[in-house]
Amino acid sequence: MLLRPTLRSAVLLPFRGRQRAVGVQAQAAKSGKGFGTTAKLQEVPVVTKLEWTSPLQIIKYPDPRLRAVNAKINVFDESLMRLAKEMIEIMYQDDGVGLAAPQVGVNVRLMVFNPMGRDKPGNESILVNPEIVEQLGGKELGEEGCLSFPRIYGDVERSRQINVKALDATGQPVKLTLTDPWVARIFQHEFDHLQGVLFHDRMKPSVLETVRPELVALEEAFLADHPAAKVQRLAPAKGAKGFGAPKK
């Protein structure tokens, strides 16, 4: 999930075009199956049934579901609409502007977002099986936060503009050009989640080192509660010995 912008962020423009909601069957990934991997798009499974437990909860780093394979959706019914609505509700509850399904423990290729946040409900976008077709307009650094990483913020480089394609509420293909840098950033942040990529993966080394203690603290807290979990931990700092090394 990408958090709402701070006051120093650029002015946000509405996401253009009529956005429609989604209904799909899908299967949430089972615990421990495929965790800790990032699948190439052509290798991802296709979902056949959607199951989740309500109410949804934001899962925290380094929960292995954040690195899991996210299944492609190809069956449309009301179940995914219900999931999308629940995702939008929790996104607003936590003051976010975007949320990807794996962040609530459902490993399917679904994202929801509203660049204006909860102050402007009704502007939500729901995208199924999204892809980035083209990156435009150069790149820029911008501060990001993520509710899967409580109270951790850092600069991440993103493309300023992108062309994307996805499926709409009825399963029809849509093509979007995101020319507002903030909207493009939201999409790229959530799209990364669908690839098993987390925002600290894209931080420059100097930025990553500023948040390393907080990341390691999250890892230790998670492993204290889940000692048998197989998680992908932060790589050791250059020159460090064993700091943040993967748990055997």
pLDDT tens digits along 91-136: 999 999 999 999 999 999 999 999 999 999 999 999 999 999 999 9
Strand partners, 134: 163
Does the annotation mark 190 as catalytic?
yes
Q: How confident is the model at residue 240 (pLDDT cuts 50, 70, 90)?
A: low
Which of these is catalytic: 190, 209, 219, 220? Answer: 190
Does residue 37 surpass a pLDDT of 60?
no
The per-residue pLDDT for 49 is 85
User: Residue 219: pLDDT above 60?
Assistant: yes
Average pLDDT, the chain: 83
Q: What is the C-alpha to C-alpha distance for residues 78 and 21, in angstroms, rounded to an integer?
A: 10
137-164, pLDDT tens digit by residue? 999 999 999 989 999 999 999 999 999 9
On whether the CB atoms of residues 117 and 97 are closer than 8 A, the answer is yes
- 178 beta partners: 162
Class for domain 2-205, per CATH? Answer: alpha beta
> How many percent of the chain have pLDDT more than 70?
79
Q: Which two tokens stand for residue 137?
A: 């307009």
